[in-house]
């Protein structure tokens, strides 16, 4: 079975060009691909990124939550991947487990392609994940299992979230879903009071 994941690391933004399907890849091609040059002024990259763009190909071996998974490359090295441009509910939050299950159904055990330029403060690779022709980042938002990250500038993610809200899909079936960034902030406040 042919599957891919393609993740560009765009911390604060997104570009529709990054949300179009990458070319197909065979399982024999699994591994890290040589970097390719990207202009530091490329609007598709985050404001903080001057790094070269890289592609990572591997098999999804773990799904931690609705926006984080682990890929094993051909050498067996594991890479933690944070799906860029989206924010899924925390596991203890309403719809958190359903969000993780949705990503698991899409990606677990399948080959994936990630296009990225940088890592976050936790060492996770930031990018867009493709499994086959399916953009997992956009699909989670489209089906109501994640929010478009509040700083993401992708028209595709904006449209996907608008459609999910209108259809009351996933977490939008709740009358007042709490964004994960608000949930985390409230949890921090509560932990300080204890």
Domain chopping of the chain, boundaries: 16-193
The model's confidence at residue 125, banded by pLDDT at 50, 70 and 90, is very high
Rounded CA separation 112/163 (Å): 26
The pLDDT of 94-112, averaged and rounded, is 98
What is the per-residue pLDDT across 39-67, written as a single tens digit (0 to 9) for each? Answer: 333 233 343 445 677 899 999 999 999 99
Side-chain half-sphere exposure of 42, counting CA atoms within 13 A: 20
Q: Where are the alpha helices (DSSP H) in 25-149?
A: 96-107, 136-142
Query: Can you give the pLDDT at residue 40?
Result: 31
pLDDT at 26 over 70: no
Closest C-alpha to 86, from 72, 106, 111: 106
| Reported confidence tier of residue 157, pLDDT bands at 50, 70, 90 | very high
Check residue 50 and give left, alpha or beta (phi > 0: left; psi -120 to 50: alpha): alpha
Label residue 10 by pLDDT band (50, 70, 90).
very low
Find out if CATH 2.40.50.90 is the number for domain 16-193: yes
Residue 88 has pLDDT above 60, yes or no: yes
- Best-predicted range by mean pLDDT (5-9, 47-51, 128-132, 190-194): 128-132
Q: Which residues are catalytic?
A: 82, 90, 124
Please determine, for residue 182, whether its predicted confidence score (pLDDT) is greater than 70.
yes
Find the distance separating the first CA and the last CA of the chain, reported in whole Å: 50
- Judge whether residue 180 has pLDDT over 50: yes
């Amino acid at each position: 079975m042919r599957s891919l994941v393609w993740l560009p690391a765009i911390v604060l933004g997104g570009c529709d060009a990054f949300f179009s399907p990458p070319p197909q890849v065979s399982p024999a091609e699994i591994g890290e691909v040589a970097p390719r040059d990207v202009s530091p002024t490329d609007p598709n990259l985050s404001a903080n990124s001057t790094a070269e763009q890289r592609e990572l190909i591997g098999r999804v071996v773990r799904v931690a939550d609705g926006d984080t998974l682990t890929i094993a490359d051909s050498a067996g090295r594991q890479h933690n991947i944070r799906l860029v441009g989206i924010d899924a509910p925390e596991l203890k939050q309403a719809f958190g487990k359903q969000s993780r299950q949705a990503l698991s159904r899409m990606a677990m055990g399948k080959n994936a392609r990630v296009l990225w330029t940088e890592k976050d403060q936790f060492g996770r690779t930031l990018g867009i994940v493709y499994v086959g022709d399916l953009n997992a980042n956009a699909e989670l938002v489209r089906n109501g299992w994640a929010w478009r990250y509040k700083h993401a500038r992708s028209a595709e993610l904006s449209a996907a979230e608008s459609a999910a809200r209108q259809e009351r899909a996933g977490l939008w079936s709740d009358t007042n879903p709490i964004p994960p960034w608000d949930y985390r902030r409230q949890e921090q406040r509560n932990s300080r009071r204890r």
